[in-house]
Structure 1
Amino acid sequence: MLPEGLIEGLGRTWWLFVLRGAAAIAFGVLALVWPGVTVTVLVFLFGVYALVDGIGSLLAAWRHRGDLVHRGHHLGEGLLALLIGVIALVWPDITALALIVLIALWALTTGIVEISLAVRLRRVITNEWWLALSGVLSILVGIILLVRPGAGALAIAIVIGIYAILFGVVLTVFGLRLRRLSQGMALRSRGNAG
Structure 2
Amino acid sequence: MELLGKQAAWVLIGQGALAIVLGAIVLTWPGLTVAAFALVWGIYALVDGIGELALGATSAGVQGRGWLIFSGILGIVAGIIVVFNPFMSAAVLTWVLGIWLIVHGVFVFAGGFSLPGNHKWWVVVSGVLLVIAGAIFVANPAEAALSLAFLLGWLAIVWGIFCTVAGIALMIGARRVGSQL
TM-score, normalising length: structure 2: 0.38
Higher percent of residues as helix? 2
TM-score, normalising length: structure 1: 0.36
- Higher CA-based Rg: 2
